[in-house]
Structure 1
Amino acid sequence: MIRAYSIADVRAAEDEVRAALDEGELMQRAALGLGQVAWARLTEGDRVVVLAGSGDNGGDALYAAAHLAEAGTNVVAVLVGSRTHEAGLRTAEAEGVIALEWRGGEPSDEVTTALSEADLVIDGIVGIGATPGLSEHLVGLNELIAADAYLLAVDLPSGLDPAGLVSAPSLFADETVTFSLLKPCHLLPAGELACGQLTVVDIGVPEPDSPAVVRYEAADVDRRWPVPTAYDDKYSRGVLGLVTGSETYPGAAVLGAVAAVTVGVGMLRYVGPGNATDLVLAAAPEVVPGPGRVQAWALGSGWDGRGGAPGLVDEIFESDLPVLLDAGALELIDEPRSGPTLLTPHAGELSRLAERLGCSQKSGVEAAQQVADLLDATVLLKGAVTVIVPPRSSGRPVITQADGSPWLATAGSGDVLAGIVGALLAGGLPVDEAAAAGVLVHGTTARDVGAGGPVRSVDVAHRCGETVRRLLQA
């Protein structure tokens, strides 16, 4: 499992280690690690530009510049902050680094030339103490850097919100080097895509007790997947009730049903209109039509109105069973249920839900958190980086997954995901674990099926069992 920690916890952990070391030792560890990563990205004759800001990240970058210059690299340091880490600058200049100033206004010809001719640029402008966005004179910096230059960010690309919540103008890195601990911006949607490849350099800072954000890996799915034993039967393995599809959109029912049976649900009961039921049984004859005893429900995909069972929906909402609410079913919830609840909106659905509930935030992770808290539910916000947000009262971390590809943004994708996650809820997994494992299997299957190209949702539904088998055998 990949773990990221709140900025406050990172600072506290660093301060505790720093207090036990000689002054400047922690920075020297970071600078050496940064310099080693930068050196590994260089070829003979490459030119390096270091962008050095006012704080510790500027010091890290300047000391790294000194290491690179000492090894024979051509290095220019561009000082862009209101202040400069003086000890770092002296060390860099002593090794032959050329220092240029650009503290405001338009850059000099020397600065623009250095940036346009750079092979590698080290972004040490700001770090985890910064506010989102770039200083006014740096807003156009991305355009000044050579298109083929390799941009290496120190801790985070400058301009990102360290907490990963606010989208703001920033640099876009090919690689981000961070030290010992990941920060929320490395895993959350507002920052991850700008970070590029993520490299963690160990500088001896231990992990705090509780992560703020986590990400599941294959081994985490392997440990959690409900694998049957010789003592199980179809009922003990988990029965999922699926109330999806409509006369207008019967395909949603087929996609969710096929996905659920393919990943190994013990039994699937389907409740929906006649044409959808016929199509579901044709695609998956093992499905049992009609209501009955279940361990979890998934409803809402492909609804027009309340689907084919309006009376049953009221009974489901009032039950204590785990319930997944997708698409049309999201319009029905306005207060907490007594049972575990998972909401699976895309961005537009989340915005409408947050508006209806009177949330102050209408989009992104902050809106998902407010909805989760108000409804005492877990919110799975679908996207290129999918975010799973439990209510704060649970004490559980936010989970993010980025396992798929942009080709997964296609009709029916959410219907398949609902079937996979619903099967895991029926198998007894806690809501957030079922959501994370389901998203990983869904995205991994789509990536494998598409092989870098278009993906059909029905193919993901039919192939997700292969992904599960591979994960369990790894």
Structure 2
Amino acid sequence: MRWAHSVEQVRSAEQDLMARLPEGALMQRAAAGLATAVAELLGAMYGARVLLLVGGGDNGGDALYAGARLVRRGAVVEAVLLSEHAHTDGLAAFRGAGGRVVDRADAHRPDVVVDGIVGIGGRPGLRPEAEQVLAGLAGVPVVAVDLPSGVDADTGRLDGPHVRADLTVTFGTHKTAHLVDPAALACGVVHLVDLGLELPAPGVEALQAEDVAALLPRPGPFDHKYTRGVVGVHAGSAAYPGAAVLATSAAVSGLAGMVRYAGSAADAVRARHPEVVVSDGRVQAWVVGSGGDADAEQALAAALADGVPVVVDADALVHLEQHPGRRRGLVLTPHAGELARMLDADRAEVEADQLGWARRAAAAYDEVVLLKGRHTLVAHPDGRVRVTTSGVPWLAVAGAGDVLAGLVGSLLAAGLEPYDAASVGSWLHGAAAALAADGGPLQASAVADAIPATVRRLLA
């Protein structure tokens, strides 16, 4: 599991650890990890030029101590001080090792910039002086210390100018902004340096392959198609029959025992998947709304009346308010525009604060909400959130959401709780897209077809 903690949690854990360590030991651990990461990025160290941008916080001290280590390894390291309160001991160590403090106009164009301007406790945004320095370094790879300066650590928001890093070296644990967009995009690749912190339960987490493997439902020796779960799919319409094909394609991937289809696209579904049963009967979960058009309202009402968990997607989302009664075990799967309509907000507001709005939606509807995006968020009504980081940009293609809905529905039918079904389904969806794309473009149907191979790799 990859955990993300708040600034307050991190500060508290650091203070507890510092009380047990010699003075300065924790900063030296961080600086050693930072220096190693910069050296690995550079490759050849001797004669490489490194420029430190140093603010007045502890991450400026981390940068200075790391700079001293890089000097001793043969790099030419210069520092621009962007605060009158640079870390005193770090600055002495840097100068003592042979590092050079320069004005920005005197700095040589470096091979890499180390951003130590503002730490995780800083306010979002950058001062004009820092903006100007960064503007003159366009095109140079940037390594951020703990978090790109100007980014909000606890929300994932980008409020004002900020650093865009190629690599972020963080310490002790991930912070929310490392996982949640739009801030996560500004972090580049994130490298974690373990400091040995004792941390409380996180508010945000990201499943890793081993976590997904542990949660996956697997058939036992005496299972049959009914005990493994039957998923009902009421998707597609006269206008969008392909949505029914895509949703059932994911549902028949083998994670549940059987798929029933109800809807107006039965002929298209049977032509692609003869194993799908087109008849009435009991199901353990429903998938409704994908490409549903005018059929979505009736499909949602029937699924809710069935008393089983339901994936509510696309066109069915707009009809939820008409059914305020029985609410238990739903997974709502909006994209940013749909969630904005659900909460009477602007899409731009949702995209700017994805974590905040996902939590608001989960609390307002008292159901699990899966907010689709580059880093999909799965929010529980109690405030917990899981982030999916397994996808690829090529997954932004028509029909991908239909596949995701069918996949999550099959996991619900197989017995996973809604929070687990949504987060496992989202992870598998992204991993299947990465496998199918193989570095290039793909279609939604290829994502569905890649699910069994993705599961096999996971279980191997």
> Where does residue 131 of structure 1 map in the other structure?
123
Determine if the alignment matches structure 1 residue 291 to structure 2 residue 276: no
**Conservation of the 8 A alpha-carbon contact between 1:239 and 1:269:** yes
- Which amino acid in 1 is paired with 2:78? V
In structure 2, do the counterparts of structure 1 residues 462 and 376 end up closer, same or farther at CA, with 3 Å as the change threshold?
same
**Conservation of the 8 A alpha-carbon contact between 1:240 and 1:269:** yes
Q: 2:401 aligns with which of 403, 414, 422?
A: 414
Bigger drift between 453-462 and 313-322 goes to 313-322
The whole-number CA distance in structure 1 between the counterparts of 2:79 and 2:295 is: 63
**Conservation of the 8 A alpha-carbon contact between 1:354 and 1:361:** no
The whole-number CA distance in structure 2 between the counterparts of 1:167 and 1:290 is: 50
The whole-number CA distance in structure 1 between the counterparts of 2:74 and 2:399 is: 56
- After TM superposition, give the deviation of residue 100 of structure 1 in Å: 2.6
In structure 2, do the counterparts of structure 1 residues 124 and 452 end up closer, same or farther at CA, with 3 Å as the change threshold?
same
Q: 1:350 aligns with which of 332, 339, 343?
A: 339
Aligned length: 453
> Where does residue 455 of structure 2 map in the other structure?
468
- After TM superposition, give the deviation of residue 360 of structure 1 in Å: 13
**Conservation of the 8 A alpha-carbon contact between 1:320 and 1:338:** no
The whole-number CA distance in structure 2 between the counterparts of 1:140 and 1:245 is: 53
> Where does residue 40 of structure 2 map in the other structure?
40
The whole-number CA distance in structure 1 between the counterparts of 2:258 and 2:251 is: 9
The whole-number CA distance in structure 2 between the counterparts of 1:80 and 1:150 is: 19
> Where does residue 241 of structure 1 map in the other structure?
232
- After TM superposition, give the deviation of residue 336 of structure 1 in Å: 6.8
Structure-2-length-normalised TM-score = 0.93
**Conservation of the 8 A alpha-carbon contact between 1:164 and 1:189:** no
The whole-number CA distance in structure 1 between the counterparts of 2:447 and 2:28 is: 49
In structure 2, do the counterparts of structure 1 residues 82 and 343 end up closer, same or farther at CA, with 3 Å as the change threshold?
farther
User: Any idea what the Cα deviations from partners look like across 1:359-413, whole Å, max 9, x if unmatched?
Assistant: 9964422111111101111111111111111112xx6x31111212111111111
In structure 2, do the counterparts of structure 1 residues 359 and 446 end up closer, same or farther at CA, with 3 Å as the change threshold?
closer
- After TM superposition, give the deviation of residue 439 of structure 1 in Å: 1.5
**Conservation of the 8 A alpha-carbon contact between 2:336 and 2:350:** no
Q: 2:95 aligns with which of 57, 71, 93?
A: 93
**Conservation of the 8 A alpha-carbon contact between 2:180 and 2:387:** yes
> Where does residue 389 of structure 1 map in the other structure?
379
> Where does residue 105 of structure 1 map in the other structure?
none
- Which amino acid in 1 is paired with 2:290? S
> Where does residue 368 of structure 1 map in the other structure?
358
Bigger drift between 208-217 and 419-428 goes to 208-217
In structure 2, do the counterparts of structure 1 residues 94 and 463 end up closer, same or farther at CA, with 3 Å as the change threshold?
closer
Task: Give the match's secondary structure for 2:295.
Answer: coil
The whole-number CA distance in structure 1 between the counterparts of 2:192 and 2:449 is: 37
The whole-number CA distance in structure 2 between the counterparts of 1:186 and 1:337 is: 37
Q: 2:367 aligns with which of 346, 367, 377?
A: 377
The whole-number CA distance in structure 2 between the counterparts of 1:29 and 1:463 is: 42
- Which amino acid in 2 is paired with 1:454? P
- Which amino acid in 2 is paired with 1:367? W
The whole-number CA distance in structure 1 between the counterparts of 2:226 and 2:251 is: 15
- After TM superposition, give the deviation of residue 9 of structure 1 in Å: 1.2
> Where does residue 442 of structure 1 map in the other structure?
429
Task: Give the match's secondary structure for 1:222.
Answer: helix
**Conservation of the 8 A alpha-carbon contact between 1:320 and 1:340:** no
Bigger drift between 134-143 and 431-440 goes to 134-143
> Where does residue 264 of structure 1 map in the other structure?
255
The whole-number CA distance in structure 2 between the counterparts of 1:425 and 1:267 is: 12
Bigger drift between 242-251 and 189-198 goes to 189-198
> Where does residue 141 of structure 2 map in the other structure?
150
> Where does residue 191 of structure 2 map in the other structure?
199
> Where does residue 12 of structure 2 map in the other structure?
12
The whole-number CA distance in structure 2 between the counterparts of 1:422 and 1:225 is: 13
**Conservation of the 8 A alpha-carbon contact between 1:317 and 1:337:** yes
**Conservation of the 8 A alpha-carbon contact between 1:326 and 1:344:** yes
**Conservation of the 8 A alpha-carbon contact between 1:263 and 1:468:** no
Unaligned runs of 5+ in 1: 102-107
The whole-number CA distance in structure 1 between the counterparts of 2:21 and 2:404 is: 49
Task: Give the match's secondary structure for 2:370.
Answer: strand
**Conservation of the 8 A alpha-carbon contact between 2:247 and 2:402:** yes
Unaligned runs of 5+ in 2: none
> Where does residue 104 of structure 1 map in the other structure?
none
Determine if the alignment matches structure 1 residue 109 to structure 2 residue 105: yes
- After TM superposition, give the deviation of residue 30 of structure 1 in Å: 1.3
- Which amino acid in 2 is paired with 1:306? D
- After TM superposition, give the deviation of residue 244 of structure 1 in Å: 0.7
> Where does residue 169 of structure 2 map in the other structure?
177
User: Any idea what the Cα deviations from partners look like across 1:97-141, whole Å, max 9, x if unmatched?
Assistant: 11135xxxxxx5224xx3xx1012111111110122212222354
Structure-1-length-normalised TM-score = 0.91
The whole-number CA distance in structure 1 between the counterparts of 2:340 and 2:441 is: 28
The whole-number CA distance in structure 1 between the counterparts of 2:450 and 2:70 is: 49
RMSD (CA atoms): 2.0
The whole-number CA distance in structure 1 between the counterparts of 2:92 and 2:326 is: 62
> Where does residue 68 of structure 2 map in the other structure?
66
The whole-number CA distance in structure 1 between the counterparts of 2:40 and 2:29 is: 17
**Conservation of the 8 A alpha-carbon contact between 2:246 and 2:448:** yes
> Where does residue 83 of structure 1 map in the other structure?
85
- After TM superposition, give the deviation of residue 13 of structure 1 in Å: 0.8
- Which amino acid in 2 is paired with 1:279? A
**Conservation of the 8 A alpha-carbon contact between 1:5 and 1:212:** yes
**Conservation of the 8 A alpha-carbon contact between 2:63 and 2:114:** yes
Task: Give the match's secondary structure for 2:102.
Answer: strand
Q: 1:314 aligns with which of 290, 301, 304?
A: 301
Task: Give the match's secondary structure for 1:173.
Answer: coil
User: Any idea what the Cα deviations from partners look like across 1:252-286, whole Å, max 9, x if unmatched?
Assistant: 0011011110233211111111xx11111111111
**Conservation of the 8 A alpha-carbon contact between 1:241 and 1:291:** no
**Percent identical residues:** 44
**Conservation of the 8 A alpha-carbon contact between 1:2 and 1:215:** yes
